Amino acid sequence: MRYSAGHKLETKEKLLQSSSLSAKKTGFSSMGVDGLMKAIGLSGAAFYSHFSSKDDLFAAIVERELCQSLERLGGQGKQDRERLERCLKLYLNMAHVEQPELGCALPALGAEIARSDIVVREQAELWICKLQESWAQILESDSLAWAILSQCVGALVVARMLASPKIQQRVLNSCHEEIGQQLAASRVQ
């Protein structure tokens, strides 16, 4: 082998990272294999040494991204409400609206995941359910966990569609405020 043992792993990792960013920014279907490889300094044909098809790459991106989202949002081990509220504040943030490439894949790739084949959706379901379970444990409410998750994803989808930063900010503030009230209500209950 003309290349070192770890080289393939490194290349694949670089490709995954670069592709994930691009997919969240411009949409997966809008990316070409050639452009993806050029972005990491390789030719288009080299792509097929790492993935059998473009769809195969998408499955890998989804798994990687959702695993990462779970780490960021659900955390490992026991959590508490305070840490959850800090996560929500980071999630419902203008920086997150303006930089989809650095943020959660659910608002950015949700529609494309929804249109993927069953294998990808089962992967997505796995990680999304893990995140929901993590939140449900903290909140002691299954339905509240689903509701807040949906609201966070929706807030970013809605805000990113808007043209003016002021209204985007108002969407984020509103969701943050209303979630705060839901959390407070669930605490005294």
Partner DNA sequence: GTCTATACGCCGATAGAC
Partner DNA sequence: GTCTATCGGCGTATAGAC
Nearer to a copy of itself, 16 or 128 (CB): 128
Choice from 9, 45, 94, 114 touching a copy of itself (CB under 8 A): 114
d(CA 152, CA 170): 14
Q: Tell whether residue 165 is a contact of DNA (CB under 7 A).
A: no
Nearer to a copy of itself, 50 or 138 (CB): 138
d(CA 77, CA 40): 35
Q: Which of residues 74-113 bind a copy of itself (CB under 8 A)?
A: 100, 106-113
Q: Which of residues 9-28 bind a copy of itself (CB under 8 A)?
A: 26-27
16 binds, among a copy of itself, DNA, none (CB under 5 to 8 A by kind): none
Choice from 37, 109, 139, 155 touching DNA (CB under 7 A): 37
- Residues 6 or more apart whose CB falls under 8 angstroms from that of 22 comprise 31, 35, 36, 39, 101
Q: What's the min distance (Å) between Cβ of 174 and a copy of itself?
A: 4
Residues that bind DNA (CB under 7 A): 1-3, 7-8, 11, 31-35, 37, 41-46, 48-50, 52-55
Residues that bind a copy of itself (CB under 8 A): 26-27, 29-30, 100, 106-115, 118, 121-122, 124-125, 128-129, 142-147, 149-155, 157-158, 160-164, 167, 170-171, 173-175, 177-179, 181-182, 185
